[in-house]
Amino acid sequence: MSNIVIYLRLETYLKQWLIHSFGLPVRFPAKSNENAIIRRFIQRQPVGQTPEIASPELLPIVIPDSCAKDPEIYNYMGPLAKAALTEAIEDMFRMNLWAELSGIVEQSHKGINGLVAAWCELHGIDLDAQEAVRQKFYRMRKAYAKKNLVLYKSTKKIEKKQRR
């Protein structure tokens, strides 16, 4: 099993969520989309390019073992490849957030702020980063609403209509 890593610069909440979900360094599941992206775009270190050095703002991600691309030799990802990996991570985060929160937000009397805070706590995201997560959830919900997609039933709206 390889312990060679690449480094990604991510938003604080994403770093914390990934570490909580996959450990440090981040090791994605064997057949994951994220590992497929790494295997596809990992390459040899370009001549004259200095290797990345660990720093607190960078998140280490393990390069998966591959018969075709030995991590000892293939251990560099260019900026566009890293952008593709970051996008896949952001998509996975959004899916997790939506799957776990969308159904209960509309049924709860606690309010979205409390639910997002509890979700963040459950997923290892610090209080400082919770506002970014809450905004992300709001934007997702608003985007669906703009397209008239009702992905949940709002009991509050139904009650208001019945009162009239």
Reference 120, options 110, 112, 130, 108; nearest CA is: 130
Reference 85, options 110, 56, 63; nearest CA is: 63
Q: How many CB atoms lie under 10 A from the CB of residue 10?
A: 21
Residues 6+ positions from 16 with CB-CB distance below 8 Å: 123, 124, 125, 126, 129
Q: Work out how many domains the chain is built from and give that number.
A: 1
Domain of 77 in residue numbering reads as 5-163
- Which span out of 53-57, 79-83, 104-108, 137-141 was modeled with the highest average pLDDT? 79-83
* pLDDT tens-digit map of 39-96: 999 999 999 988 899 999 999 999 999 999 999 999 999 999 999 999 999 999 999 9
In the numeric block, which tokens belong to residue 27? 């090791």
